[in-house]
Amino acid sequence: MGNLNKFKIFTFSTLLLQLVVSFILFAQIQNLSVLNDLNTDKSFIFILILLIIFISFILFILVMLLIKKSQLLEQLNEKKEIVIEDKSKETEEIVENVSEDINVEYYLKKLIPKEDSKMNLKKYTEKILSNFAKEFDIVQGLFFIKEKNTGEFSIAGKYAYFGETEPENFKIGETLSGQVAKNMNILYLSEIPENYVTILSGLGSSSPNQLIIVPVINNNETIAIIEFASFKEFKKSTQKLLEAVSLKIGESLIKY
């Protein structure tokens, strides 16, 4: 902005100087004509001087318009920088708030069994389901692993599952869990399809109304699916936590 103001002053000074020089030249011509008693036609000289003055004004106006345009562009850029800065601050605040709400490292230690623990795949997956159940009021959990030979997802671990038959295998794209495996995104349902999950207890049977299906991804491939059913709503912070923890689970499953 400072450079534009200096340029504006310089342009105005140049125009003023041109006008002064033109008037001095015009006065000198008049004096010479009177002293020498010249009767020659001076109209050409006057027209030339007027033309110079006119061109100077035109150039001055064009320069001023360019300066004005430059000033507007600078103002717009400053406003954009302010908006970008505000958005950056807003994003940082959101990230900070999320970090405050979710201590991922804390939950990783609580939810995932230690790597040095001597567990087979069944005990390992059921321990994960049990840990999640205690922490987030899960009433039923299923852990499916993708079989390398067939490509099907088969049950590896269960929590509070009392069905007469084992959960059925599925392939990528089949059933809700198969779709999650294909899309590699968490699916949250607040209205579970009828008879999809049934919980048995001493008080009888009941159906949870909240279901979340989590893909476990490793090397850009879904290698496992975890299903959690609950009577309580899964908050967004819980969903983000499940997404973060599932990545760690994917890394730990490689050894099985």
CATH no. of 104-255: 3.30.450.40
pLDDT tens, residue by residue, 157-176 = 999 887 778 889 999 999 88
Q: What is the mean pLDDT of each run of 10 residues along the chain (256 residues)?
A: 59 65 64 53 63 70 72 70 52 46 78 78 93 90 93 94 85 92 92 63 60 92 94 87 89 82
- The pTM (predicted TM-score) of the whole model is 0.58
Instruction: Provide DSSP, 177-242.
Output: HHHHHHHTS-EEESSPPTTS--EEETTEEE--SEEEEEEEEETTEEEEEEEEEESS---HHHHHHH
For residue 53, which of 90, 26, 71 has the smallest C-alpha distance?
26
Domain ranges of the chain: 2-101, 104-255
Q: pLDDT tens digits for 100-130?
A: 456 778 888 888 887 666 788 999 999 999 9
For 140, 194, 200, the CA distances from 136, given in Å and listed in that order, are: 11, 23, 19
C-alpha 168/C-alpha 233 separation (Å) is: 26
Looking at the chain, how many residues does it have?
256
Q: 153, 247 in Cβ contact below 8 A?
A: no
> 211 has which bridge partners?
189, 229
